[in-house]
Amino acid sequence: MELDSNNHSVFLLYYHLVLVVKYRRKVFSDPMSQYAKDIFVRIGSSYNITLEEWNHDQDHVHIMFRAHPNTEISKFVNAYKSASSRLIKRYFPEVRCKLWKEMFWSRSYCLLTTGGAPIATIRKYIESQGR
């Protein structure tokens, strides 16, 4: 296992994020998931976030990522949810309806640190939650 580092420290910070589609609508498709994943990678790079695993079901996504200690995780999650919501609605017209006037994602989310279990265990769990 390789540690991340910056000028004065080494670290290994893994997080598990679950985002749910608003109203638990079963609309999340493979192309939409890939598009949302690409947005995550693009936005994450400016927050020192590295995507490790991504799996989805029809109404939610499981994301495992690494971050630096100075990363403002809540700001990143809010920026990601806002941008991806706007872009998903723009490029996937099937989700554009009056139910999604504001956000594609539910207002709440689940964010867990993965320090309590080995990464292999977390990966196995995320893979089992996918399709």
CATH number for the domain harbouring residue 124: 3.30.70.1290
Give 96-101 contacts, CB < 8 A, sequence gap 24+.
Answer: 99/22, 99/23, 99/25, 100/22
What distance in Å separates the CA atoms of residue 48 and residue 70, rounded to the nearest whole number?
A: 9
What predicted TM-score, i.e. pTM, was given to this entire model? 0.83
What distance in Å separates the CA atoms of residue 109 and residue 81, rounded to the nearest whole number?
A: 10
What distance in Å separates the CA atoms of residue 125 and residue 118, rounded to the nearest whole number?
A: 11
- Does residue 4 form part of some domain? no
- Does residue 5 form part of some domain? no
Q: How many domains does one find in the chain?
A: 1
- Does residue 1 form part of some domain? no
- Does residue 37 form part of some domain? yes
- Does residue 118 form part of some domain? yes
- Does residue 2 form part of some domain? no
- Does residue 18 form part of some domain? yes
Indicate the helix (H) or strand (E) that contains 88. helix 73-91
What is the domain range of residue 37?
A: 11-129
The per-residue pLDDT string of the chain (131 residues; one tens digit each, 9 = 90 and over) reads 677 778 888 788 999 999 999 888 898 999 999 999 999 999 999 999 999 999 999 999 999 999 999 999 999 999 999 999 999 988 988 887 655 566 789 999 999 987 655 667 667 667 766 54
- CB distance 89 to 100 below 8 Å: yes
